Structure 1
Amino acid sequence: MVIPVHDVNPVRRTPWVTYALIAANFVVFLSTPGVAGSVTGGGTLAQLCHLQAFTEHYALVPRELVHHQLPRLVPTGEVGFGTHGPGCVLAPPPYGKSPALSVFTAMFLHGSWLHLLGNMLFLWIFGNNIEDRMGHVRFLLFYVVCGYAAGYGFALLNPGSGQPLIGASGAIAGVLGAYLVLYPRARVWVLVPFLIFLPLRLPAWLVLGFWFVLQAFYSAGEGVSSAGTVAYAAHVVGFVVGMLLAWPLKPGTPPPPEPRRLLFGRQARPRHTW
């Protein structure tokens, strides 16, 4: 797996929506009840119960989205004592949750610092160029549509699942799909883990194409046990939808700058050839 760190593709305007989305994700993460304990691994049972209650309320749950039915019992955020010892109290939900709205709120929830930082890194690198090409308002709508498509796509593929789905990766996958369509030849600096992290400058079509193939491979349950806990299918759906929505913009998209040859980190001098 390669880690992108920077793309060689300047923008013409400040990507305010990209910055706002990143800021909103950080604010929500730091405001999530019990998240401090979940991050450090030393959280109390009370913190865990608060986190479960918050997640159940605002996360996307495929079974709720497909069947439009709330569970009979949900965590309340309180700690109780039963025959098996202390645990999180379950009770009928005291709120009227909108499954359709939960697709939106789930886009701003993350389960760990690694989850959050990984998503925001991809949005930081690739989102600015897509916003620059689409404009602020259209980019925001594009981001939300890709997130909804990814959420509904995952729910339809897993209609009986009661596991909460959180994260911005479905919407960000749409951004990656659009970038692949609009800027396939842009150069992306990546770190490749090979004994040490090797910096390489690769074309976007290779970096993002490899990422998509990997997500599709994992979504089929290959290479990981039961496809792990990551919603790879949501990534695939979001990526494809992003490609389709960006395709009409491809003819008028200016190409990225031609990459300069590098020699040990410096621009190489041109040589005369015969």
Structure 2
Amino acid sequence: MFLPLYDHNPRTHVRRQYVTWSLILLNVMVFLVLEAGGEARSVTAAAFGFGAIPALFGTDALSGGGYLTLVSYAFVHGDLWHLAGNMLFLWVFGDNVEDAMGHWTFLVFYLLCAVAAALLHIAMLSTSAAPMIGASGAVAGIVAAYLMLHPHVRIWVLVLGRIPLRLRAYWVLGAWIAFQVFMVFQTDSGGVAWWSHIGGLAAGAVPVVFMRRPGVPLFDRARR
């Protein structure tokens, strides 16, 4: 659909987005340790060991059923493109959400979105034995929070992999959210955990109202 490239949206409260950087680094390190060897067996073992498996949730902690998988799944990725796509979204949008919340509150927010995304996925596909992995649920929460905070900021995006456009966030992220909702109701998911995206979006849109710093406006009211 599109890839975000850059937003000219200066931070006003934190000098450096340390938590965003740390999350990206941790995801990359986990990928290198668990999966960069390229062996199918190691990738599968990582997915079943650390991924969230709805059919096993709450049972055997050694096979994707433990409660820790509500978080661990978000740091495991199936391949380089899966990792790169999620980290690109986190890189572009995470710094401004971290700026609005502060470092530690942002970390709690990110993990909360990851947990909410996993819980909705598990609830909606409770009989699935396929492991869910990837940071997309947590990243969806970042997207929702960014849209609540900065809908009028212009973002450079790459549309259809080749057309660079500079559009307002509410067009770009609104279209992305609409696409997630549309895909939830398709019979063929294409191996994507669409319900986790919806869970992350919901978990991101609501808490940002209460978790932002005092005085940080919603909907770019200060700028407008």
- Using the size of structure 2 for normalisation, the TM-score is 0.90
Note the alpha carbon deviations across 1:92-136, whole angstroms, 9 max, x for none.
x9x486621011111100001110000000000000000001000
- Aligned twin of 1:50: 42
Describe how 1:1-274 pairs up with structure 2 within 5 A.
1-12=1-12, 13=14, 14-33=16-35, 35-37=36-38, 47-65=39-57, 68-70=58-60, 95=62, 99-193=66-160, 197-221=162-186, 226-248=188-210, 249=212, 252-253=215-216, 255=220
State the distance in 2 between where 1:257 and 1:121 align. 27
Alpha-carbon offset, residue 207 of structure 1: 0.6
CA spacing shift, 1:96–1:2, aligned 2, 3 Å? closer
SS in 1 for 2:162: strand
What is the CA distance between 1:29 and its match in structure 2? 0.1
Q: With a CA cutoff of 8 Å and minimum separation of 6, indicate the structure with the bigger relative contact order.
A: 2
C-alpha separation between the residues in 2 aligned to 1:54 and 1:119?
Answer: 18
Contact 1:174–1:240 at 8 Å: present in 2 too? yes
Structure index of larger Rg: 1
Secondary structure of 1:11's partner? coil
Cα distance, 1:52 vs structure 2: 2.1
Residues in 2 aligned to 1:250 and 1:187: alpha-carbon distance in whole angstroms: 23
Give 1:3's aligned amino acid.
Answer: L
Contact 1:181–1:250 at 8 Å: present in 2 too? no
Unaligned runs of 5+ in 1: 38-46, 71-92, 260-274
**Using the alignment, how far apart are the partners of 2:6 and 2:63 within structure 1?**
43
TM-superposed deviation, 1:231 = 0.5
In the alignment, is the contact (CA less than 8 A) between 1:182 and 1:250 conserved in 2? no
TM-superposed deviation, 1:171? 0.5
RMSD, aligned CA:
2.2
Deviation at 1:63, TM superposition (A): 1.2
User: Could you tell me whether the CA contact under 8 Å between 2:100 and 2:213 is conserved in 1?
Assistant: no
Asked if 2 retains the 8 angstrom alpha-carbon contact of 1:171 and 1:238, the reply is yes
How many equivalent residue pairs? 219
Q: Distance in 1 between matches of 2:181 and 2:63?
A: 35
- Looking at secondary structure, tell me which structure has more strand per residue: 1
